[in-house]
């Protein structure tokens, strides 16, 4: 396998890791509005991700850096092409990131309320924008022969991308609720699990719509049906199983199911793109292939060595960090950092 293919997969893995991990962070952020009823509950909810959200975000930074290094053309075309959506994304990340730290620093209702909104907006916008980003990537974008993308509003916002965005938001919310269910006790835990059962159906509807429109609006199934059909069947089966796990209150398994569904949805994008990194809606000849977009062999070789040394180490201490904070949060009985 050429090194550029390995890096395509690695970037897929990094983005998937980001969506899996930051997915529940986003869901937890949304829960501060939808689930928590008072200040203490909000704080408990935020503290469930307190030790980990920052590191989870690094998966995105690393994915972006890896794109820059391994596929300069992909990075350049996509990041300049998605200019305005990315500005909004960055603003959302900024207010969310400081909100956790700022929130309890001033004893004023207005202050706390402001940062609560920042957490909420900063948690609901990014999954939506990532849904739009990935769906429009496989739908095709107006990329010309010079690899420059000149997208108009409807390239970003259309039925398929909006369904993609909403699906990401709902899946993240569900994923986050189940995470809260795993990390809290008593009433909050109960309420999180109940809320998860409530959004189950709606999320399911959007997941199915998403699959249908992926079939209708992209070439994914024509080109990669042999892999995507079994993969999506698996997603539907897992999502069906989730219904029973929710009903029987198998919290760990439920969380695993939403995680796996998110992973499959993300895998779908990279499978659909292969062997391209960008699909041109102007002319298939302008599609940017993995090989065209990639850096030289030497650079990829160096980075492969670094990545295959570092990723296991990063994974090891990441897992350890989750192990350190494995206990449920009891709220009023302990010190809350946020």
Partner 1 sequence: MEEVLLARIQFASTTLFHFIFVPLSIGLALIIAIMQTMYVVKKDEIYLKMTKFWSVFFLINFAIGVVTGIIQEFQFGMNWSAYSRFVGDIFGAPLAVEALLAFFLESTFIGIWIFGWNKLPKKLHLACIWLVSIGTVMSAFWILAANSFMQNPTGYVLQNGRAEMNDVVAVLTNEKLWVAFPHTIFGSFATGAFFVVGVSAWYLIKKRKVDFFKKSLTISLVVGMLSGLGIAFTGHAQAQYLMHAQPMKMAAAEALWEDSGDPAAWTLFAKIDVENRETTKRIDIPYMLSYLTYSEFKGKVSGMNALEQQMIDKHGEGEYLPPVKTTFWSFRIMVVTGGTLLGLGAMGLFLLFRKKIVESVWFLRLLIVGIFLPFIGNSFGWIMSEMGRQPWVVNGLMKTADGISPNVSAGQILFSLISFSTIYTILGIIMVVLFVKFIQRGPEEQPEEDVSATDPFETGGAGHAIK
Judged by the rule CB under 8 A, the positions of this chain that interact with partner 1 are 47, 50-55, 57-58, 61-62, 64-73, 75-81, 83-84, 86-87, 90-91, 93-95, 97-98, 100-102, 104-106, 146-150, 295-296, 298-299, 302-303, 306-307, 310-311, 314, 317-318, 321, 324-325, 327, 335, 337
**Least CB distance from residue 100 to partner 1, whole Å?**
7
Q: How far is the CB of 127 from partner 1 (least distance, A)?
A: 16
What's 105's DSSP letter?
A: G
- Closer to partner 1 by Cβ: residue 109 or 222: 109
Distance from C-alpha of 165 to C-alpha of 162, rounded to nearest angstrom: 5
Q: How far is the CB of 167 from partner 1 (least distance, A)?
A: 24
CB 53 within 8 A of CB 23: no
CA angle, 12 then 17 then 23, to 5°: 120
Cβ closer to partner 1: 166 or 294? 294
In the complex, least distance from residue 77 CB atom to partner 1, rounded to whole angstroms: 7
Tokens of 312: 């296991």
Cα torsion 176, 180, 181, 184 to 10°: value is 180
- Are the C-beta atoms of 18 and 56 separated by less than 8 Å? yes
State in angstroms the smallest separation of the CB of 151 from partner 1.
Answer: 9
Distance CA 124, CA 285 (A): 36
Q: Of 148 and 194, which has the nearer Cβ to partner 1?
A: 148
**Residue whose CB is less far from partner 1, 7 or 200:** 7
Q: Counting Cβ atoms within 10 Å, is residue 60 exposed (0-12), middle (13-18) or buried (19+)?
A: buried
Smaller CB distance to partner 1: residue 94 or 229? 94
């Amino acid at each position: 396998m050429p090194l550029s293919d390995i890096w395509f997969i690695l970037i897929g893995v990094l983005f998937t890791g980001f969506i899996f991990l930051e997915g529940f962070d986003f869901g937890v952020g949304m829960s501060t509005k939808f689930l928590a009823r008072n200040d203490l509950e909000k704080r408990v909810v935020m503290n469930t991700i307190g030790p980990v959200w920052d590191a989870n975000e690094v998966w995105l930074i690393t994915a972006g850096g890896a794109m820059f290094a391994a596929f300069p053309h992909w990075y350049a075309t996509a990041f300049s092409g998605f200019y305005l959506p990315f500005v909004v994304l960055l603003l959302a990340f900024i207010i969310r990131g400081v909100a956790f730290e700022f929130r309890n620093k001033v004893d004023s209702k207005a202050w706390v309320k402001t940062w609560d909104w920042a957490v909420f907006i900063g948690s609901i916008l990014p999954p939506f924008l990532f849904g739009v980003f990935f769906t429009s990537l496989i739908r095709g974008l107006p990329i010309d022969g010079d690899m420059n993308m000149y997208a108009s509003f409807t390239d970003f916002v259309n039925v398929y991308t909006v369904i993609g965005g909403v699906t990401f938001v709902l899946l993240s919310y569900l994923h986050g609720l189940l995470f809260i269910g795993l990390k809290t006790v008593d009433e909050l835990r109960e309420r999180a699990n109940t809320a998860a059962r409530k959004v189950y159906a709606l999320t399911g509807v959007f997941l199915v719509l998403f699959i249908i429109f992926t079939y209708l609006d992209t070439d994914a199934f024509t080109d990669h049906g042999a892999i995507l059909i079994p993969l999506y069947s698996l997603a539907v089966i897992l999502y069906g199983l989730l219904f029973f796990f929710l009903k029987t209150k198998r919290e760990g398994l439920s969380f695993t199911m939403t995680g796996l569904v998110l992973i499959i949805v993300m895998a779908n994008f990279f499978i659909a793109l292969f062997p391209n990194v960008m699909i041109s809606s102007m002319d298939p000849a302008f599609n940017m292939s993995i090989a065209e977009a990639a850096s030289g062999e030497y650079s990829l070789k160096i980075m492969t060595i670094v990545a295959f040394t570092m990723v296991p180490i990063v994974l090891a201490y990441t897992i350890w960090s989750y192990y350190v904070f494995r206990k449920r949060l009891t709220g009023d009985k302990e010190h809350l950092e946020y």
